[in-house]
Structure 1
Amino acid sequence: MPAAPHGPSRRSVLAGAAGAAGAALLTGCTGESGANPEDNGIPLERRMRESAVRDTERLLERYDATTAAHPDLAGRLAPLRAAVAAHRGALAVPGSAPPAGAGGPSASSSGSAPSAGSPAPRSAPVPATAAEALTELAATERSLSEARTLALAGAPGELARLLASVAACGAVHAYLLTSTTPGAAS
């Protein structure tokens, strides 16, 4: 007669290992593990702010390209572009140097890769008609607004509130860019 096994069964060992792996994954998902190889010791809020600033700079570049291609839209786009420039300043890492070109057209974003969930840099030319250019710019604003809304879940408190405000403003910009108002270029 075979002897009764001593210690845990193979099934219980596998179940325990699966549970430990699941717990490790959950800890990694909540950001409580300091071992994320991609953070390079940079705090989450700083990484999120830097990413948001890069995204905002790309949006400013798109406003500038649209204005250059369609000078008749300059009056309509100027207040929206000014708000986006203010967002860049608000999103900047506290104590960091102001971004290049803070008052005017933005400088390119030093070749950084786009962040996950953000719109890709636009290298395509601005559409030929003003109406198409406004529609494309509205789509860019909407896409960035949606990406920022999704980023809220992982953002620290104060940054989450700021991202929510900036995302809401981007949604309003998308609406204003596609709405037809008297005297607005189309």
Structure 2
Amino acid sequence: MPWTLPLRPSRRSLLAGAAGAAGAALLTGCSADTPSQEEAGIPLERRMRETAVRDSERLLERYDATRAAHPDLAERLAPLRAAVAAHAVALAPAAAGSRAPSPAAPSGAVGAAAPTASPEPVPPKPAEALAALAGAERKLSETRTSDLSGAPGELARLLASVAACGAVHAHLLTSTPGAAS
């Protein structure tokens, strides 16, 4: 008696085919056309430093936008902005150090890049603008603190110092200048 194909596939063959397709999809997903940073051989410390510099640059943009919207706050913001710029320089990877802004960079300058718009609009009242800037400092400080557990030794110490400085900035931005604490 000759063997003939069944009219419909069996449940077993459907399950085997589905499992094979799922396995192939998983393997294909792991080998995307563009290699991830880890596959490209970029060390963890360098990736962490580049992210930290980008975060500092965004914070500098917030300082510049706040200073542009409220020129009367420029004197108060200047030393804090200079410290954030210094953090970006200190965090920059050795080979990408020329991209980081200098502590004395003029308003809106980030290395050779053109100034970009602040990610969030600056509140119209100076006190609200300072509170928003303090919130950005606080959030970045918390992010850097949480990054400490995965950072290599020297970078972890630097991130801890920069996070502490950010927390102090948040306090200074929301405190009344000249008031005794």
Give the structure-1-normalised TM-score: 0.68
Match of 2:175 in 1: 179
For 1:166 and 1:100, the matched residues in 2 are separated by: 15
In structure 1, runs of 5+ residues without a counterpart are 1-35, 111-120
Correspondences of 1:42-81 after superposition (within 5 Å): 42-81=42-81
Match of 1:107 in 2: 110
Does the residue aligned with 2:98 lie in a helix, a strand or coil?
Answer: coil
Match of 1:93 in 2: 93
Cα 1:100–1:47 shift into 2, 3 Å: closer
Q: Alignment RMSD, CA only? A: 2.2
For 1:108 and 1:87, the matched residues in 2 are separated by: 14
How far 1:182 sits from its partner (Å)? Answer: 3.0
For 1:109 and 1:138, the matched residues in 2 are separated by: 27
Does the residue aligned with 1:96 lie in a helix, a strand or coil?
Answer: helix
In structure 2, runs of 5+ residues without a counterpart are 1-34
Match of 1:147 in 2: 143
How far 1:137 sits from its partner (Å)? Answer: 0.1
Cα 1:91–1:73 shift into 2, 3 Å: same
Cα 1:157–1:100 shift into 2, 3 Å: closer
Cα 1:109–1:46 shift into 2, 3 Å: farther
Cα 1:49–1:100 shift into 2, 3 Å: closer
For residue 160 of structure 1, the aligned residue among 156, 159, 164 is 156
How far 1:72 sits from its partner (Å)? Answer: 0.2
For 1:96 and 1:145, the matched residues in 2 are separated by: 23
How far 1:84 sits from its partner (Å)? Answer: 0.4
- Percent identical across equivalent pairs? 65
Count how many residue pairs are aligned between Structure 1 and Structure 2: 138
For 1:49 and 1:109, the matched residues in 2 are separated by: 19
* Greater Cα radius of gyration, structure 1 or 2: 2
Does the residue aligned with 2:94 lie in a helix, a strand or coil?
Answer: coil
For residue 131 of structure 2, the aligned residue among 135, 138, 143 is 135
Cα 1:101–1:168 shift into 2, 3 Å: closer
For 2:100 and 2:166, the matched residues in 1 are separated by: 22
Does the residue aligned with 1:107 lie in a helix, a strand or coil?
Answer: coil
- Considering Cα pairs closer than 8 Å and 6+ residues apart, tell me whether 1 or 2 has the greater RCO: 1
How far 1:98 sits from its partner (Å)? Answer: 1.6
More helix by share: 2
Asked if 2 retains the 8 angstrom alpha-carbon contact of 1:57 and 1:108, the reply is no
Does the residue aligned with 1:161 lie in a helix, a strand or coil?
Answer: helix
